[in-house]
Amino acid sequence: MAETICEIEVEIKNADGLHMRPAMQFVDVASKFDSDIKVSNEDTSVDAKSIMQMTMLAATFGTKLKVRAEGSDAQEATEAIRYLVEEKLFDEKPG
């Protein structure tokens, strides 16, 4: 399969933001895919598969994050992340 690049923007919609538990879910979902996935919040860009880097992003409610996936399953990866962040809201209460 060809290498593809896929970039989307997601908004943090759960009230408590990307604290430890949501960050953990984010990393777990990202890690299921082969693609290299980067998440950026303004100037900071981090590896979506590293819990340390993801928690240090400190994305609070309302933050818009850029998710950029590069690899054979880039499309599926960004979709799974979008679903987790914007629809499933990490199984947390909405803001």
Partner 1 sequence: MEIRKGIAVSPGIVIAKPMVFDSKDFRIPRRSITASQRMSQVKRVRNAFAEAINELTELDQAHSIEEGKIKDIFAVHLRYLRDKSFRKRITDYVCEELTTAEYAVSVILREIASHFENLKDTYISERAADIYDIESRLLTILLGEVRQEVEDLTEEVVVIAHDLTPTQTAGFNKTYVKGFATEAGGRTSHTAIVARSLGIPAVVALEDVTTNVTAESMVIIDGNRGVVIVDPDEETLDQYRQYALDFLRLEHELDTLRDKPAVTRDGVQINLLANIEFPEETGQALEKGSMGIGLYRTEFLYLTSGSEPTEEDHYKAYSETIKAFKGKPVVIRTMDLGADKLPSRTRYSAEINPVLGLRSIRYCLQNLTLFKTQLKAILRASVLGDIRIMLPLINNLQELRQTKMIIRDVMEDLDEDSIPYNSSVPIGIMIETPSSAITATLLAKDCDFFSIGTNDLTQYTLAVDRANEHVATLYSSADPAVLQLIRGVIHDANKAQIGLSVCGEVASDPEFIILLLGMGARTLSLAPPMIPEIKQIIRSVTVEQCNKLARAVAGMDSQRQIKNYLRDAAMKILPEAF
Helix (H) or strand (E) holding 81: helix 74-82
Token readout for 94 is: 């909405």
Kindly identify the residues of this chain, within the stretch 9-28, that bind partner 1 according to CB under 8 A.
16-21, 23-24, 27-28
Residue span binding partner 1 (CB under 8 A) among the ranges 52-60, 65-73, 76-84, 86-94? 52-60
Site string for partner 1, 32-51 (x = CB under 8 A): ---------------x--xx
Question: What Cα–Cα distance (Å) separates residue 1 from each residue in 4, 71, 73, 74?
Answer: 9, 9, 9, 11
For residues 88 and 70, give the distance between their C-alpha atoms in angstroms, rounded to a whole number: 24
Q: Which residues pair with 37 in a beta bridge?
A: 69
Q: Which residues are catalytic?
A: 19
Q: Does 55 bind partner 1 (CB under 8 A)?
A: yes
User: Helix or strand or coil: residue 53?
Assistant: helix
Residue span binding partner 1 (CB under 8 A) among the ranges 36-44, 54-62, 72-80, 82-90? 54-62
Give the binding-site size for partner 1 (rule: CB under 8 A).
Answer: 19
Q: Where do contacts with partner 1 occur on this chain (CB under 8 A)?
A: 16-21, 23-24, 27-28, 47, 50-53, 55-56, 58, 60
